[in-house]
Amino acid sequence: MGNEPVVNAEFFISKLSDAKVTFERALDCKHTEFDDLYPYMLEHPQFFWYKRYVAWSQLLTIAELCEELGIDWRAEFSPQQVGYVKQRVMSAKVLDFWFEKNDSKEHAQR
């Protein structure tokens, strides 16, 4: 009874939010921490696909941890984005329609 770990939901939601921003920056081909790890790869076109894949994997991992711990991660996403995360596959649909409106003010500021 007293051996159960205390889960800090705010910590996981913060990490989830960071992962979402990183994924969105990767979608927009903007700088992320990943660029700093592999600066020599920037000149290779496949780098951007790999960067997106890594960011997507991180986002899915944190969302899955939140799910297993009973933390509501869905509030950080639009209903459409929740569907993509639940499907787990980073398809062309995710890449093309993650931002419901690519011309939105929020999208332009990221």
pLDDT in tens, 22-67: 999 999 989 898 888 888 887 887 888 899 999 999 999 999 999 9
Say yes or no to pLDDT of 100 above 50: yes
State the greatest distance between any 2 C-alpha atoms of the chain, in Å, as a whole number: 54
- The answer to whether position 88 is within a domain reads yes
Q: Taking the C-alpha atoms of 32, 95, 108 and 82 in order, what is their torsion angle to the nearest 10 degrees?
A: -90
Assigned token pair, 11: 């910590």
Residue 71 C-alpha from the chain's centroid: 16
- The answer to whether position 104 is within a domain reads yes
- The answer to whether position 92 is within a domain reads yes
Residue 74: CB atoms within 10 A of its CB come to 15
- The answer to whether position 76 is within a domain reads yes
Task: Give the separation between CA 89 and CA 103, rounded to whole angstroms.
Answer: 24
- The answer to whether position 86 is within a domain reads yes
Domain that includes residue 92, residue range: 9-109
Q: How many domains does the chain have?
A: 1
pLDDT given for residue 97 in this prediction: 95
Task: Give the separation between CA 84 and CA 9, rounded to whole angstroms.
Answer: 22
Mean pLDDT of the chain: 87
Task: Give the separation between CA 27 and CA 44, rounded to whole angstroms.
Answer: 16
pLDDT given for residue 6 in this prediction: 63
